[in-house]
Structure 1
């Protein structure tokens, strides 16, 4: 085949070129609702998209398309700074300007399709090296659907607006509500396991980019004031470790037949390690907080202590 150029309507050539056996990797910034017809992926493939809040609100990436690929067994990841449009199969690489959207089929786009093994390897390396990656799961899609309904409220990063630091999106600024909670060791009931399986992403494959964010669950023995957007600092049950801040991503879910217990879904940064609890206490004491109460569940009322806790992980 060699290397060929296709434009101004490259999608028929792209679709035909990627119909090959074996796993495929694609990093396509924006997906329209018709993207599955243009970009037919299957179980075992990896798809990285820009499904940031701004891209969803601008209707640049469709939650329906994300749900379609997830349902097909594709591993879907979101990178808020992605602007590339590249695909790698076992036999070919596609490099160009075409998003998987209906607008692209009407625009003057162009791609290069090649079977050069060095370029194919380079495309795979590029995709696998993307960072600030979030695993797209059913909870992610639920939030994206809500953002989509808000409408075209914000510009698209890198297209009509400035690219921001995605780390600033991890925690609310300022962090107004923070809780210290201790991990309780227990055996989840079948009902709880079902709830977790519904919300958790599939076990990721060993290939592709490493997800920077993951979803965890926290069981609370009774309803509380914790709500979406709150920050929780977890402490191990043996009081040896303190874990990095986690963001509550949704309202607590009541667990049926549990005596009033609820389940909270938390978004965590996988690159932030737990710290010895005594080290955290010493850090706070050095800053003038001799009694931070890290060994008891409580609402962290003092702004200075909330700030000091975040500083443990340079947040």
Structure 2
């Protein structure tokens, strides 16, 4: 392999490089809630992260990600002075600027990946030599969740922001659109620390316009993807809610037998519409059977456009 430089979008190269046998060690300053997608660690691996009170309160390191790694059997340690991003396998070292977050995939990052044995050894010694280390256990995780709820997101490119200004509402190209009925769900204690606090992490855009909320998804055979658009209907088929956009990869809910959660981005200024009124309007636009009372994927491009038009989107 040798030594290679990767930028400005290095994460696909990082993820591929660390998919090796044997234990991995990673020192990653900050973790987004979807870090496990980028940094797939397993039992026996070691992860050092800056999960200090300041980092968690700033929403730079997510308790959701910490909980995921702990549940997977990864040994997780916190170093409040950590600012580097280094990953070491038995044969490779990854050294660069990239935090494990979706924001990092949008920022301009750079890493060097090498199999030079001297550099691999030095990178491993760096991780092993980190000082002021605290073991992340359930008590630590509970405290981190409380700090997350107290704090607020601070926009740091590659850490907590999206590397852009206002991310907008709907994606430029909508990959899929679904009608789903709202199902009331109260998270249990085991799930609360893993993901319920993430629903309060703050708005996706200007606070007066956008909000983030959680959606639990039990259908493991048809998982949602980032960018999918959902139209929610109340259980009594009385109200149709404005579109919400899936804003995260699937996040496993601990001890929930395959259930996952997604963050949804929505507009707080768009009011729900009575389902009969929506059906009447859509019929006038050439869609007499929009099937708003049945959960399904909306395949018709013209129906998608008509539905978005109900809110002038």
Normalising by the residue count of structure 1, what TM-score does the alignment of the two structures yield?
Answer: 0.49
Normalising by the residue count of structure 2, what TM-score does the alignment of the two structures yield?
Answer: 0.49
